[in-house]
Structure 1
């Protein structure tokens, strides 16, 4: 029997959404796009980085405006988002708080402008008691030819869970 998979993603510029859509096509998973209130982030990338850094410094993460199904029904949750200042984007951080007691497998996927920094280590540090497996990161330019890397990553992930 196939493992039930959920894709959860936040995309500020729709780049991560494009990656999530490719993963959804590959995995046939249910997909939830995380949303924040309009006006939470400016339309300028640098101003958004400033807002996110202020959120991190204050500990006041943005509230998510959508809901999601009961997470325990999924064996694997793929969580995607953009890399912001070499860290997990603040809306994704808000969602990860829902996974602190999750007993399945979580895998990050992310998009960056060429400098992911320590994204995966930052991601894993937010879920210290959860099984987090290696993720995959791509730049916007790499998304156009991402079918093979995504397929290889997904198959490696599944093979590691057998």
Structure 2
């Protein structure tokens, strides 16, 4: 008997921003487990590869609610019922490119499943940040993965996906 996919094609989208590659690693695990469409958020003005420069820019963007312009555009966002949204945690908050992405679309009535990678802060304020930008979306249980565990997080990701009914 052939396996029945647990997720309808075209209904769930994984969208994420990754600076160091940790959030990308987790997003790719999610994509591997679900088969969902996946899109990486890209900014018009790329972040420096120098850590101190990135943290200085991030601090300015976060403290002044600056939402960087994005290259990423999803023309068919209405086709998706659920967005799995990935972000690194920067200064205990959602990375500005993710906030830019969420603010760009009308996500009323959509489910948002947040996941993050972090250096010790856990989910921090990121879920509240998402709620403030998407007040009319249903925010599902979140997943926080330590950056040092991103590559080896498959079992945690599987448990999380089952808990939010996106995998068996």
TM-score by length of 1: 0.88
Contact 1:71 1:102 in 2 (8 A): no
State the Cα distance separating 1:99 from its structure 2 match. 4.1
Cα drift, residue 36 of structure 1 = 1.1
Alignment of 1:13-52 (within 5 A): 13-38=20-45, 40-52=46-58
Q: After TM superposition, which residue ranges in structure 1, 4 or more long, deviate above 2 angstroms?
A: 44-47, 56-60, 98-102, 116-126
**Aligned with residue 83 of structure 1, among 89, 103, 107:** 89
More helix by share: 1
Q: Which moved more, 1:138-147 or 1:28-37?
A: 138-147
Deviation of 1:100 after TM superposition, in Å, equals 4.0
* TM-score, length of structure 2 as denominator length: 0.85
Q: Does 1:2 align with 2:7?
A: yes
- The count of residues paired between Structure 1 and Structure 2 equals 158
The answer to whether the Cα contact below 8 Å between 1:72 and 1:102 also exists between their aligned partners in 2 is no
Alpha-carbon separation, structure 2, partners of 1:122 and 1:59: 11
CA distance in structure 2 between the aligned counterparts of 1:7 and 1:60, rounded to whole angstroms: 23
Which blocks of at least 5 consecutive residues in structure 1 are unaligned? none
Query: Are 1:120 and 1:134, in contact at CA under 8 Å, matched by a contact in 2?
Result: no
Residue of structure 2 equivalent to 1:154: 161
| Cα offset, 1:104, TM superposition | 1.8
Q: What value does the CA root-mean-square deviation take over the aligned residues? A: 1.9
